Structure 1
């Protein structure tokens, strides 16, 4: 069984989402990045962390891809060496480097960093860069239902979660097909179960404090 160390409303939701898509057993531990248990398994003190037997894995995209590959689900992660896998990797890197990065820099400098180290001057640039990335996403997505072929994949988990993050910080999704795509992937029952699982684990953690 897997153990996921995470916190609600973080990139860890990507991992609970794929675990629910796979329908496998897992335990959720809600922890703060400052918790000694987190430092013991990840010196960078970042969440999420997946513990699978002797393997300790960090970085949400790497965890999601590992899980899909391990459970041999070609729809969620196409086979290595195929054209579909090349497109899959291309989309994943795009989401992490082009779509998510402006959101991350915006979030850090708008509310995550201590006020004295924030650089508010970069916030408009973050919005511009995100808007450019959404335009590129709209062109490449076109009328397709999902990013890679005709099946929902890890790429859609990463992209869907990032678009939900954008909405949470009031970044505009300027293209109709991107808005429709976000609505479609974020309506998946597995995501609803994932969020409920995280909130339930969080409530249990608070009750035990």
Structure 2
């Protein structure tokens, strides 16, 4: 049985939604960020980076959200959440997955924690403001890419969609949030009706009223 070490709406959220979509047996183990449990000696033995999430697959330990999701896809190919080798959509899948996890997500982290990226006083607000403009442009790019489409890659859901839903929700407080975009907003509202996403959100205490 899988064990997912998580914290609500953390980077563990995408793997959590994916586990629900796969419809497999798993256990959620809360790592309390409020008390910095991820820095505890017990957790560091499991994940030396002190980050969330971590997946235990029997004796195998996998860290990093995207790596966990790819591992689960390969363990459950019947779920069709990762295009097969030879499928033209496979390259687009990796293109989007890397864009979301190595471009958009780091930019969001800089927006949320600007004070970690400066040693100068009174500059954090300026950094956050500049980041919001950059992130809004990125969501505009995603919005245009979703014109006439139900999913980011191909004609069915993939891991990329769970990541985009997670990152979009994180950005809900932007001046122009993802839901305000025409195509991205439609896409997110449709995804929010998916049973796997609804189950994960209910478990994590995340209301979906904004997506109605």
TM-score (norm 2): 0.84
2:42 to 37, 41, 48: 37
Is the partner of 2:78 in helix, strand or coil? coil
Is the counterpart of residue 158 in structure 1 residue 158 in structure 2? no
If asked which structure has higher relative contact order (CA below 8 Å, sep 6+), I would say: 1
Query: Hey, what does 1:134 align to over in structure 2?
Result: 139
Partner of residue 16, structure 2:
16
Aligned partners of 1:155 and 1:188: how far apart in 2?
A: 15
1:172 offset after TM fit, Å?
Answer: 2.2
CA distance in 2, matches of 1:169, 1:79: 36
Q: Against the structure 1 CA distance between its residues 64 and 117, is the aligned structure 2 distance closer, same or farther, given a 3 Å change threshold?
A: farther
More displaced, 76-85 or 57-66?
Answer: 76-85
**Structure 2 counterparts to residues 44-193 of structure 1, below 5 A:** 44-73=49-78, 75-109=80-114, 119-168=124-173, 171-173=176-178, 174-193=180-199
Relative to the length of structure 1, the TM-score reads 0.85
Superposed displacement of residue 101, structure 1: 2.3
Deviation, 1:110, is 7.0
5+ residue gaps, structure 2: 32-36, 206-212
**What value does the CA root-mean-square deviation take over the aligned residues?**
2.3
Gaps of 5+ in 1: 200-209
SS in 1 for 2:5: strand
